[in-house]
Amino acid sequence: MPILCLHTAHSNAVIFEQAAAELGWPAHSIVHQVHEELLLGAEAAGGMNASLRQKTAGQLDALADPADIDAVLLTCSTLGPAVADCLSDKVWRADGMLARKVAAALQRDPQSRIALLCAAPTTYEATRDLFMQALLPGDAHLRLQLQCVEGAWALFRRGDLSGYQARMTDAAFQAYAAGAAQVVLTQVSMDGVARYWQARDSHPVPWTVAASALQALGEMRK
């Protein structure tokens, strides 16, 4: 049965198709719906509010209702908090699976530091809360740093994807230079940074939402 992805940008559908192909998933394993108006509403409101959460959760539950849908994956970080309001147990946050991966990495290596990068100002609070809640008790929160990269989202909104990717790539290199053991790209739109990563000083490829979410779902379906 397919996984249905709810996106707020058409480009994210392409990113998830590429990630699925790289993982060896059969064609048509994922189906897509794009609702740009949900993110536009959140941006106009300055972030998620109760009305938008309720609307998004209702749409997600409706998408999860058909028996032939295995899971529904919300790929927009800004809208992520709405998943907590869903009634269906088939609805997942794509960035939530990335957050669990980060929490496990910090648990394995008590000395490591991980840098989280976001671009859209409306996703900062939701991303911070998600990753902090995923952590196990201890001092891991002291080794997790979230940065909203100034000016990056404006480039994306203008359609300057090469400029956007360059800005996020520079931010990733700066995070590594500042001592991060791993950089994490917390929005799906940043996937190109990892896809075209040019290794510098042996820094690891940044982790992405799409690959991490599909890997986790693949493990769950075994």
Give, in degrees to the nearest 5, the angle at Cα 204 between 153 and 9.
30
Tokens for 110, please give them: 């008590």
Same domain, 78 and 102: no
pLDDT at 173 over 80: yes
Give the CATH number, domain containing residue 111.
3.40.50.1860
Number of structural domains the chain divides into? 2
Higher model confidence: residue 202 or residue 204?
Answer: 204
Output the domain CATH number for residue 86: 3.40.50
pLDDT of residue 27: 87
Compute the average pLDDT of residues 4-18: 95
Alpha-carbon dihedral angle through residues 169, 174, 178, 183, given to the nearest 10 degrees? -10
Mark whether 124 and 144 lie in a shared domain.
yes
pLDDT-based confidence at 181, cuts 50/70/90? very high
Looking at the fold, whether 66 and 102 belong to one and the same domain comes out as: no
Based on the domain organization, do 77 and 126 belong to the same domain? no
Residue type, 31: V
With a pLDDT cut of 70, the percent of the chain lying above it is: 96
7 with 45, same domain: the answer is yes
Structure tokens belonging to residue 132:
């902090």
Output helix, strand, coil percentages for the chain, rounded to the nearest 5: 55, 15, 30
| 194 and 120 belong to one structural domain | yes
Same domain? 84 vs 105: no
Residue whose C-alpha is closest to residue 211's, from 74, 26, 17 = 17
**What CA–CA distance (Å, rounded) separates 210 from 191?**
8
Query: Is 70 exceeded by the pLDDT of residue 208?
Result: yes
Cα–Cα distance between 30 and 187 in angstroms, integer? 19
What is the structure's pLDDT at 25?
93
CB 93 within 8 A of CB 162: no
pLDDT at 201: 66
pLDDT band at residue 46 using 50, 70 and 90 as cut-offs: confident
Range of the domain at 188: 96-209
pLDDT for residue 26: 92
What would the pLDDT profile of 99-140 be if each residue is shown by its tens digit? Answer: 999 999 988 888 889 999 999 999 999 999 999 988 866 766
From CA 100, how far away is CA 94, in angstroms rounded?
Answer: 11
Same domain, 9 and 76: yes
Q: Are residues 116 and 157 in the same domain?
A: yes
pTM score, two decimals? 0.91
Beta strands in 75-157 (DSSP E): 91-93, 114-118, 144-148
Within this chain, do residues 81 and 50 fall inside the same structural domain, yes or no? yes
> Within this chain, do residues 195 and 130 fall inside the same structural domain, yes or no?
yes
- CB within 8 A of 185, min separation 6: which ones? 117, 168, 172, 191, 193, 194, 206, 207, 208, 209
Q: Is 31 helix (H, G, I), strand (E, B) or coil?
A: strand
Same domain, 121 and 194: yes
